Amino acid sequence: MRLVLKKQEDWLKKVEEISGQNVFACYQCGKCSAGCPMSAEMDLLPNQVIRLLQLGAVEPLLNCRTIWLCASCFTCTARCPKGVSLTRLMEGVRLAIFRTRKSDEISPKEMVKETLPQIALIGALRKLTA
C-alpha cells in the first residue's frame, strides 16, 4: 500500500503551535531514538514519529503506542544536534489527539492498586488523559 502524500496543514500546524517546534528542522539522524530509554518498548521509533509528521501521515501516528510510552525524560532533547525539542513535539502530538478526540488514554481503573508517590499519579494522569 502506498502512502498518499498530501499537505496535512491543519494537523501539522496544530502540533507545531502547541509545541513551538519546527518539524522540518529534524534531519532524521536518529540520535533521539538511539538514546531513548523507552525505545525497546515502543513500536515506532521517536525519529519515525517525527518523520510521519513531516510526511503528513496522520493515521499511523494516531494508532501507534510510541507517543504514550514516552516518559518525558528529555534525553532526546538534550542530545538532538539540531536543538529540536522532541519532548515538546511528543507532547504536541498527544495534546493534538486529546483535543480532537476528547477521550483519555488511560483510566484510573487501569492504575496499579498500591500506595504510589503522588507525583506518579499526577504525572500519569497529566500526560495520559485529556
Partner 1 sequence: MRIGVFICHCGKNIAGVLDIKRLVEEAAKLKDVAYATDYVYLCSEPGQKEIQQKIKELELTHVVIAACSPKMHATTFARAVEEVGLNPYLLEIANIREQCSWVHHDAPEEATEKALEIIRAAVAKVSLAKPLAPITVPLTRKVLVIGGGIAGIQAALDIANGGFEVYLVERSPSLGGHMAQLSETFPTLDCSSCILTPRMVEVARHPNIHLFTYAEVKNVEGIVGQYKVTIEQKPRYVDPDKCTGCGDCAEACPVIVPNEFDQGLGARKAVYVPFPQAVPLVYTIDLEHCLNTKRLIVCEQCYHACGPKAINYLMEPKEIEIEVGAIVLATGYDLLPLEALKEYGGGIYPDVLSGLEFERLLSASGPTGGIVRRPSDGKIPKRVVFIQCAGSRDPEHGCPYCSKICCMYTAKHALLYKHAVPDGEAYVFYIDVRAAGKRYEEFVQRVMEEERIVYLRGKVSKVFQRKDKLVVWGVDTLSGMAVEIEADMVVLATAIVPSKNTADLAKLLKAPIDEFGFLNEVHPKLRPVESSAMGIYLAGAAQAPKDIPDTVSQASAAASKVLGLFSQEELSLEPIKAEVNLENCDGCAYCVDVCPFDAITLVVEEDGHKHVEVKKALCQGCGCCMATCPKEGINVAGFTLNQLKAQIHALLKEDEDD
Partner 2 sequence: MEIAYFPGCTLKTTAKKLEDSALAVADALDINLKELPNWTCCGTVYSLAEDDLMRQVAPIRTLARTEALGYSTLTTLCSVCYNTLAQANLFVKADSIRLEKINNFMDEEPDYKGNVEVKHFLTILQELGTEKLKSAVKKDLSGLKVACYYGCLLLRPQSVGIDDCEQPYILENIMQALGTKPVFFPYQVECCGSYHTAVKPEIVARRVYRILENARENGANLVVTSCPLCYFNLKNRQKEIKKLYPGFKPMPIFYFTEIMTDAFGLTKTLENI
Q: Which does 33 bind (CB under 5 to 8 A by kind): partner 1, partner 2, none?
A: partner 1
For helices 86-101 and 46-55, give the axis angle rounded to 10 degrees.
60
Binding mask 18-57 for partner 2 (x = CB under 8 A): xxx----------------xx-xx----------------
Site for partner 1 in 25-44 (CB under 8 A): 27-36, 39-40, 44
Tell me, by CB under 8 A, how many residues bind partner 1: 22
Distance CA 68, CA 18 (A): 17
Spatial contact of 105 and 68, defined as CB atoms under 8 Å apart: yes
C-beta of 80: minimal distance to partner 1 in Å? 7
Site residues, partner 2 (CB under 8 A): 17-20, 37-38, 40-41, 69, 71-75, 77-78, 85, 87-88, 91-92, 95, 106, 110-112, 114-124, 126-128
